[in-house]
Amino acid sequence: MNEEIRDGLRRVIWEPSAKTGGKLDEWSATEILHTTQSVISQLICRLVVGRTFSRNLEFTQKVADFSYSVIIWSIILDWIPDFLRPWIAWLLPIEKTKSKISDYLCGEILRCLSSPLASTETSAILHQLVHLSRAENGNSFYSVDETIKCVTTQFLSITFGAIDPTTVAVSQVVLDLLSQPSSKYLVALQEEATTVLARHGGNWSLEAVKELKLMDSFIRESQRLHPIGITLAARKVIHKGGWTFENGDHAPAGSLISVPTYAIHHDKALYSDPEQFEGFRFVEDDKLKTTGDAFLAFGYGRHAW
């Protein structure tokens, strides 16, 4: 993955800068959200479908566009009457983008179907998706066309859940880092990364990343102070009789329930001086370094562990 990140940064930052006469040791302007999204999309595609697709810039851009479109159009459709939504859905660009992504994946899916083993250029995740989808409907197998459609849907479900939250989180970390005095955080983070990298022979690995205690704390503080949303995990009560919680509180049918993430992350009872950015707040407090009812950046419960 280190290789993929380096290639993504080279593509979106270094190469454009060089074309305009810039140098690697000089400052250059970049649109942080777009830049981060492009690199994250490439990285996720490498993990899920392999190097052949991650280095196809048109493919990775369409994957990123799909994720963004789903969010935007879901917000728009909320304002449209229910009886019109099925008709409008057919006019949205989402299905067209999905179809083009399916066309890209089609050949590789067919190769996976004909081979019990994944190739060196194909991600094992894609290979597993293909073979699992063949038996997803009990003991009956999907047809080839149904398999391609199923795998494409599963692939986009994975990328949708990975690209946008990661893009927002990484972009916010960069903005927080640049908004703070370099002597306070940047120097310390650079020294930590240099020391850890040298300790592991110049190669990044999972074990090496686990030793980045200051970086871990900085990222968590960024997510605490600037959560991805004011509320989290919105749910609608659909049972006709409503829903009664264990403490006796009752939510009638049609009620919208969500977790007040921003309020919890800024609660003085949970965090000292919660409105201030303290990048190394979590270094010593192991209790708060994991997902829990006081830190909800990744949700809460078994799925967020």
* DSSP states of 60-120: HHHHHHHHHHHHHHHHHHTTS-GGGHHHHHTTSHHHHHHHHHHHHHHHHHHHHHH-SS--T
Do 69 and 99 sit in the same domain of this protein? yes
pLDDT beyond 90 at 134: no
pLDDT digits over 185-200, tens only?
999 999 999 999 999 9
291 lies in the same domain as 143: no
SS3 261: helix
Statement to judge: residues 242 and 122 lie in one domain: no
Is 8 within 8 Å of 38 (Cβ atoms)?
Answer: yes
Measure the CA–CA gap between 44 and 62, rounded to whole angstroms.
Answer: 13
Q: CA-CA distance, 190 to 184, in Å (whole number)?
A: 11
Cα 220 vs. chain centroid, distance in angstroms? 15
Kindly state whether residues 172 and 29 are assigned to the same domain. Answer: yes
Q: Which residue range(s) make up the domain with 284?
A: 213-305
Q: What is the pTM of this model?
A: 0.82
Spatial neighbors of 302 by CB under 8 A, at least 6 apart, are none
pLDDT: which is higher, 182 or 267: 267
Look at residues 162, 179, 196 and tell me which one is the last residue of a structural domain.
179
Question: Which alpha helices (H) appear in the chain, and where do they start and end?
Answer: 2-9, 15-19, 32-49, 51-54, 57-77, 85-89, 93-114, 124-133, 144-179, 186-199, 206-210, 213-225, 261-265
How open is the CA angle 160-162-167, to the nearest 5 degrees? 105
- Same domain? For 88 and 159 the reply is yes
Give me the pLDDT at residue 288, please: 47
pLDDT at residue number 22: 60
Span 263-286, pLDDT tens digits: 999 999 999 999 999 999 998 765
**One domain for residues 158 and 219:** no
| Residue 15 scores a pLDDT above 80 | no
Cβ count within 10 A of residue 65: 17
Question: What's the pLDDT at 89?
Answer: 76
Confidence of residue 139 (pLDDT cuts 50, 70, 90): very low
Domain count, the chain: 3
What pLDDT is stored for residue 280 in this prediction? 93
**Residue 123 tokens, joined:** 């991600």
pLDDT tens, position by position, 233-253: 888 999 999 999 889 999 999
Helix, coil or strand: residue 256: strand
Q: Is the pLDDT of residue 110 over 70?
A: yes
Claim to verify: residue 197 and residue 100 sit in the same structural domain: no
